[in-house]
Amino acid sequence: MVPFSLLKAFGTFFKIGLFTIGGGPVMIPFIEREVVEKNQWLTKEEFMDLMVVSQSLPGVFAANFAISIGYRLGGRRGSAACAIGTVLPSIICILTIALFFQQLRGNKVVENVFRGIRPAVTALILGPIFHLSKAAGITWRNVWMPIVSALLIWQLGVSPIWVIVAGIAGGIVRYFTLKKNNENHPDMHDIP
């Protein structure tokens, strides 16, 4: 485990922000790699829990995710370090373009490079699905849950928020059912 420091957190998220090309979800594989695998600041379960919280609150998902991880690791200062690290590459790149390269858009070479990058970035996002499925507790009995939710969002354009709301409702129902019928279920035990 890499010891947590504000500077290290800032550096890690600066690197993550710098390679998030193509939008917030691209951050997911990078955060998993840097924060969970390399630095071991979070377990896979904590990573998923913070991700679902960041998705369900308003604002830019990537920023929410950085803020919630930072807060978990280092309180308010930690959240500021991670958030500033995430947005600084954006500010630097956008201002450089705004000041010096107004004509970047429509540049043939840049367009070609991005036509190569986009399929690779898609492959990147597929990774965590496989790394996390065991920690997510996916079995043959509940594998329909991720499949149905992915199809709802992808094919029917349902907002992820509704999937999360349905999940919370399902979780509450499950809690009361377990409480009534099965006091011995692992979820029902207090952690000593």
Compute the distance between CA of residue 49 and CA of residue 111 in angstroms, rounded to an integer.
Answer: 37
HEC string of 126-142 equals: HHHHHHHCCCCCCCCCC
For residue 20, state whether it binds other proteins (rule: CB under 8 A).
yes
Decide: is 11 part of the binding site for other proteins (CB under 8 A). Answer: no
Nearer to other proteins, 35 or 48 (CB): 48
Query: In 78-95, which positions are buried (b, 16+ CB within 10 angstroms) versus exposed (e)?
Result: bbbbbbbbbbebeeeeee
Of 51, 74, 81, 85, the one binding other proteins (CB under 8 A) is 51
Q: Is 87 in the site for other proteins (CB under 8 A)?
A: yes
The total of other beta-carbon atoms located within 10 Å of residue 74's CB is 19
By CB under 8 A, the residues from 162 to 191 that bind other proteins are 163-164, 167-168, 170-172, 174-175, 178-179, 187-191
Instruction: Select 2 or 95, whichever has its Cβ closest to other proteins.
Output: 95
Q: How many residues bind other proteins (CB under 8 A)?
A: 110
Q: How many CB atoms lie within 10 A of CB 185?
A: 13
* Residues between 127 and 156 that touch other proteins (CB under 8 A): 127-133, 135-138, 142-143, 145-150, 153-154
